[in-house]
Structure 1
């Protein structure tokens, strides 16, 4: 059984481990190996510390806690992309679960809590971006009621251009 709470600085190492291992597992064959191999828990933890200490940030970070501490993490806040009615749309920036616990409902629990908090903040819809070739994530979000809305953007990873698709749902 897990419960969800606000992330704090004591969670940074665990969250960074979950995030880096998640990238290295989920994006193998999608993101260049050189990029994935260069990711480190230490480097990610340093970025998390800066992120959490930014004054005035509007993003929320939640962790799912299991018997061994943090086993999942979600970050969300106001939508960062140009969409109709921008003040009404929240965005899931990131969602990762410990690799050995994927498929046990932890991601659904985190996403549900994020949706509840977004509604509480006055958002009516949620958006997120998924790499076009990440079929597993697309299926997860589609089961949660998200649909691709036709928007796409490109990011470059070690010289390779990858396309992300935007998904949206009503909260």
Structure 2
């Protein structure tokens, strides 16, 4: 059984204990980070995550296309993991204000942790919370033993590209080339694949 198959059979309680033994505290006491799987993610939290992704639908439409049904299907993949950033709400409840989703998988012949989404609500941006979520994911990948982190970023999302560059991510060779049609016109690919090694 491969590393990926073995990992994807591990129950959530073991994932939390083994791969995230020291979950960092966000800068503000009212915030917390929890690990969930697609199966254990409460419906209300899933909706909050999808709503954050939905805010970027125009960017999707201009690059790879947008389908709410397909995106929800992807988000519910059995192997998908979620780092949920929550904030204290009214009545003692917590509200999801951001998330990072990732999967232990194989890409381009490498066992990797692939970051699918990273989204924060407007009110919690520029506080270092995105960096914390990425660092938690990287620590997870190191403990699992995968080669690197990979992710996709839209070229027009310059803020995200600067963010990942500061964290040590660079363009991966797996990024597809622009397509030249029969008429000689070049159709530019609207995204690039970034990666960062996890092994010394």
> Scaled by the length of structure 1, what TM-score is found?
0.72
Match of 2:131 among 69, 84, 108: 108
Q: CA RMSD in A?
A: 3.1
* 2:50–2:72 CA contact under 8 A, matched in 1: no
5+ residue gaps, structure 1: 155-159
Tell me which of 78, 87, 102 is aligned to 1:66: 87
* Runs of 4+ more than 3 Å apart: none
Partner of 2:195: 168
Secondary structure of the 2:176 match is strand
Count of aligned pairs: 150
Residues 6-34 of structure 1, C-alpha deviation per residue, up to 9 Å, x if partnerless? 2412311211222212x158x3xx844xx
In the other structure, the counterpart of 1:47 is: 72
Q: How does 1:1-171 map to 2 (within 5 A)?
A: 1=28, 2-7=31-36, 8-9=41-42, 10-21=44-55, 23-24=56-57, 27=59, 31-32=61-62, 43=68, 47=72, 51-52=75-76, 54=77, 57-68=78-89, 69-79=95-105, 81-83=107-109, 86-87=110-111, 89-153=112-176, 162-171=189-198
Contact 1:75–1:92 (Cα < 8 Å) also in 2: yes
Tell me how far 1:153 sits from its aligned partner.
Answer: 3.0
Checking the alignment, whether the CA contact within 8 Å between 1:79 and 1:127 is kept in structure 2 is no
Secondary structure of the 2:168 match is coil
Aligned residue for 2:85, secondary structure, equals strand
Change (3 A) 1:163 1:135: same
Q: Deviations over 1:135-156 (max 9, x none)?
A: 11110101111111243238xx
Greater RCO (Cα-Cα under 8 Å, separation 6 or more): 1
- In 1, Cα distance between equivalents of 2:191 and 2:145: 26
1:150, 1:165 within 8 Å by CA — same for their partners in 2?
no
Q: 1:51 and 1:135, CA in 2 relative to 1: closer, same or farther beyond 3 A?
A: closer
- Three-state SS of the structure 2 residue aligned to 1:151 is coil
User: TM-score normalized by structure 2?
Assistant: 0.63
